[in-house]
Structure 1
Amino acid sequence: MKTVIFIPARYASTRYPGKPLVDIRQKDGSAKSLIRMSWEAACAIEGVDAVYVATDDARIAEHARSFGAAVVMTSSTCENGTARCADALAQLDGRPDLVVNFQGDAPLTPPWFVEELIAAMQADPTAMMATPVLRCDRQTYDNFVEDRQNGRVGGTTAVFDAKQNALYFSKEVLPYIAPGKLPTPIPVFHHVGVYAYRPDALKAYVEAPISTLETLEGLEQLRFLSAGMPVRCVEVDARGRLFWELNNPEDVARIEAALEAQ
C-alpha cells in the first residue's frame, strides 16, 4: 500500500505565530526547529514511501528545504491541516493508497503510533480514516487539568464507542471526573493529532460544509463526525514516553523536559 506523509505547517498560528520555526533545545544542548524535529520524526516511520512538508509560507518552505525536506506549496486558503493535505495530494503525480497527516507541532510522536495507525487501515479496507488515541497517565492528565485551570487551550481528548469509532473530540477534559475521584486506569484518552485517510475521505472532507462544532472547538476532525463520516480511534501505547504537542509557548519547556528524559 503506497503511503505518503504530509506535515502541514503554517506560520500564522492564532495561539503561537511562527510556531514551526521555534527552536527547541535538544538533549545535547543544540537546538532544532519544531518543523525539523517533526520532519525527522516522520522520516523515522517505517512503511512510508515519501514525506513532504506542506505549507503556504515561503519562510517555512525555505527553512524546510535547507535541511533536506521535500516541500509542497499549498494554497493560503486552506483552513486547517486536513484541507492542506487535500490540496497537497492534488499536486502529487500518482495517487497514493493512504495519506498520513503528521502534525508539525508534535515532534514527540513515536514512530510506532503512526505504524500502528497504518496497520489498522491496512487491516480494515472499510475504514476511511483513523487517528491514534493514548490513555492518559497521571502526568499527562495533570497537564490537561493545569491548562484548563489556567485558561489555556492545550491538548485534545477523545471519547469513542465499543467499536473504537469516535463519539466526540474536545479541548475540554472528557469525560468529566470530579476532584478526588480519579480512577485507575484513568479513563481519559489524549487524542494524538495524526490522521490516516483514504484519498476519497479527503475529497469528501473538503466537499463537506464547515460544521458548527468544528468552528466552536477549533478541531478539524469534527467535520467528519458532523457529516456522518466515521473516525476510527486506534489505541496506542506510549511505552513509557511522555507525549505532548506544542500548542502554547508554555509547552516548549514541557517538550524540552521530555527530550531530556528520553
Structure 2
Amino acid sequence: MAVAIIPARYASTRLPGKPLVALAGKLMIERVWERVRRAKKISRVIVATDDERIIRAVAAFGGEAVMTRSEHRSGTERVAEVAATTVREGEEIFVNVQGDEPLIEPSAIDTAVEAIESDLSVPVATLAVPIAKPADIMDPNVVKVVLDFDGNALYFSRAPIPWVRDRNAPVHARHLKHLGLYAFRRAALLDFPTLPLGDLERIEQLEQLRWMENGYKIRVAETPYDSISVDVPEDVSRLEQLLRELPSA
C-alpha cells in the first residue's frame, strides 16, 4: 500500500487558484482527491499546499491537507517535504499525483504502485502511454520517453524520441508519452531535494531528469490511460463537459 500526495499550489501562472476552480459542482482538488481514493493500492491521501484557502477547502470536504513551504521548485520537492514530516509507521511508498487531473484513472495509480512494489531495486516508477496522434510526437509539450529492455527509462525529452532516420527501415518505432505520475520509495524521495540540478534538467525543464543525471533508475510501466489536465481557463468548460458524460462523476 502507498500514500498518495497531491501537490496543490494556489498561485498558478496560467490559471490562478486552480485547485479551487469549480468543475461541474465540485472543486477541482476535491475531484482529484475522490479519484485517488478509489485506487486499491492507496491507503492515505494527503493534499500538500502552500495556501490556507486550500487547507480550509480540503478540510471542508473531509480530506487531509498539510501546509508546506512556498519556495519549492517542483511538485516532487513539495511531496518530499510531506513525506519527511507526516510519515506514519510502515509508510514507505509515496505517490505524486498531479493536482490538475480531475479525471485521473485510479487503476493507473495502482499500476505505478505495482511497478515499484514488484522490484525492490526500483527507487522510482512512473507511467507512459503509447502515442496515438502523430502530431504529438513533434509537440514539445508532450514529453516522450524511451526504455531499455527491462522497462527502465533511458531518457525523457520534449524532442521526438526515438527519431526515425530511415522511414523505410524494417522496424516499427514506438513512441511513448510520459505521464507525470510517480511512485517513490521514501528514501529516494527524501534524497530528491538534495540532488544537484544537471544541465539536462535545465535544458529540457523536466524534473525527472534530475534522477537520471544522478544515477537513479526509473521504472516505466505502460498504461492505456492518457492524462487530461486543466492548464488554462478554456480547459475548464471542456472538462465540465466530460464530467457530465461520465455516470460516476
What TM bracket, shorter-length normalisation?
A: 0.7 to 0.9
How many equivalent residue pairs?
243
> Residue 145 of structure 1: CA displacement?
6.6
What does residue range 75-154 of structure 1 map to in structure 2 within 5 Å?
A: 75-95=69-89, 96-138=91-133, 142=135, 144=136, 148=139, 154=141
What does residue range 127-206 of structure 1 map to in structure 2 within 5 Å?
A: 127-138=122-133, 142=135, 144=136, 148=139, 154-176=141-163, 187-206=174-193
Write the distance in 2 (CA, Å) between the matches of 1:168 and 1:23: 37
Determine which of 210, 229, 232 is the counterpart of 1:245. 229
> Residue 112 of structure 1: CA displacement?
0.8
The answer to whether residue 54 in structure 2 is matched with residue 60 in structure 1 is yes
Q: Which residue of 2 aligns with 1:27?
A: none
Write the distance in 1 (CA, Å) between the matches of 2:102 and 2:164: 29
Alignment-mate amino acid for residue 166 of structure 1: A
Write the distance in 1 (CA, Å) between the matches of 2:148 and 2:245: 34
Q: Deviations over 1:190-217 (max 9, x none)?
A: 2111100001111221111122322333
Give TM-score scaled by structure 1 length.
0.81
> Residue 258 of structure 1: CA displacement?
3.9
Write the distance in 2 (CA, Å) between the matches of 1:9 and 1:121: 24
On the 8 A contact 1:74/1:88 being kept in 2, the answer is yes
Write the distance in 1 (CA, Å) between the matches of 2:144 and 2:219: 14
Write the distance in 1 (CA, Å) between the matches of 2:233 and 2:87: 38
> Residue 237 of structure 1: CA displacement?
2.0
SS at match of 2:42: coil
> Residue 188 of structure 1: CA displacement?
2.3
Alignment-mate amino acid for residue 42 of structure 2: V
Q: Which residue of 2 aligns with 1:11?
A: 10
Q: Identify if the C-alpha distance between structure 1 residues 79 and 177 changes in structure 2 by more than 3 Å, giving closer, same or farther.
A: same
Alignment-mate amino acid for residue 81 of structure 2: D
> Residue 20 of structure 1: CA displacement?
1.6
Write the distance in 2 (CA, Å) between the matches of 1:115 and 1:156: 22
Determine which of 215, 219, 226 is the counterpart of 2:202. 215
> Residue 80 of structure 1: CA displacement?
0.8
**RMSD over aligned Cα atoms:** 2.8
SS at match of 2:229: coil
Q: Identify if the C-alpha distance between structure 1 residues 209 and 75 changes in structure 2 by more than 3 Å, giving closer, same or farther.
A: same
Write the distance in 1 (CA, Å) between the matches of 2:208 and 2:125: 10
Structure 2 portions without partners, runs of 5+: none
SS at match of 1:192: strand
> Residue 9 of structure 1: CA displacement?
0.9
Write the distance in 1 (CA, Å) between the matches of 2:244 and 2:142: 21
Q: Identify if the C-alpha distance between structure 1 residues 176 and 105 changes in structure 2 by more than 3 Å, giving closer, same or farther.
A: farther
Greater mean alpha carbon deviation, residues 55-64 or residues 242-251: 242-251
Q: Identify if the C-alpha distance between structure 1 residues 223 and 60 changes in structure 2 by more than 3 Å, giving closer, same or farther.
A: same
Alignment-mate amino acid for residue 159 of structure 1: V
